[in-house]
Structures are given as C-alpha cells and as structure tokens.
Amino acid sequence: MLTYAVALVAVMPAKAALTLTGSPVLWSDVAGSAWNGEIALRDRVRVGWDAVPLRSLTQLALAADVMVEGRDTDVTGRGRMRPGSVVLEEMTGVAGWPLFAAAAPNLPFECDVEVRVDVELMAFGGDRQGIEGNLASGPGTCTASLLGVSSAPATLPALVAEATRNDAASRVVLAPRDNRGDRLAEATLTRGGRLSLTVLPAGSALLPGGFVPATSFDAQL
C-alpha cells in the first residue's frame, strides 16, 4: 500500500501537489511532477526539487533536495511536502533582492544587497507553522519609488534578522549587525499562521525619506 501511494505521488503534476500543500500561490509557472519539478516565482527566481526515495519513505512525506536559483541567488536545502504543509530545512546560500521581490512583489522599494541565508527550518501550512535561523546582509542601498518617481538611494548598514521559535510562536527581530540591541523591526508568527509585523522608528528611518512609517500589520497566512 505504501509503495502504491508513493507511485501515485511520483506521477502527480507539480501544480496539483503544491495545491494540496496549501502553500501560498506565489508562482508564475509550474513544470514537472511532484517527484521532480520546478516553479518560477514571478519569473525572477526558480525553485526546483528532486525527490529522495529513501528519505521520503522514512519521513512518510515527499522529501526532496531543494534548489533556489536566480540573479544573485543560490540557495540549497531540504524539503518535505504533505497535504496541508510544506517544510524547508537546512536552507543555506546567498540570496539577492529578486528573491525577496518575488516573495513580496508589492514592496514600494527595492534594494541592492546580498543576503547570507542560514535557515534551519521554515514551515508553512497546518498548525505547526514557524521559522528558525537567520539572514545576514552586507551594507547596501535601497531606493523607493512612488508613482513611478524614484527617490535618491538610502544607505543600509549590514543587517541581521534572527528567528527563534518555541511551542507557541516564532519571533523574528531585524537589527544592525553591529548593534543588535537597536531593533529595526520585529515579527511574530503563531503556529496557526497569524503574522504580526511591527516596523519600528529606527527601521523606518533607514528607508529613503522614511518611506515606510513606523507601524504594525497583522495577517492570517
């Protein structure tokens, strides 16, 4: 029975498998199967996976090696998919701004930064959502655009976003790498997928003209 179930998953179209996980629909194109497939994120970044049969059997999930590639982006790790959830683990490498722009296409600014990725876990869907790990950037610049008019670039210091989690929620804190006590923004993601984000005054001041006011956002993922 287990072998039969694995065979069914192997031939399932990638889009159907992703729909079953309940993951956010960020892709602009999907190709391949659940066993070996690829998605394009807003035509900027490609995420591919190759299933690992033995790991899939031992974890009772579709387990795969994951590759994220694009301009200035090269991140690898492991993933597993089940109905209702996607879990990424040991994701490491470097990421450029196109990856962040693909994940959040409505940001009113863009930045020229290189980010070092060292994420131990990212879980989406179900009642065990969370994140643990860190992102660290070098110095860079950000440019805001309003009604098609770009502002002068603002200089960013080296930053670090640290994510920790417990049984109730994950907490992410963004701060300058050389002064981690000076928080710029913080976010909380509950296991049930409730996201609360607060941009602090110091964080708003870093962007061109204080483009994003110090404020808070809440959303259900």
What's the CA dihedral at 102, 106, 111, 113 to 10 degrees? -30
pLDDT score, position 16: 77
The predicted model scores a pTM of: 0.83
What tens digit of pLDDT does each residue of 38-97 get? 988 877 789 999 999 889 888 888 899 999 999 899 999 999 988 888 899 999 999 998
CA distance 207 to 142: 7
Residue 203 scores a pLDDT above 80: yes
At residue 210, what are phi and psi to the nearest 5 degrees? Answer: 60, 45
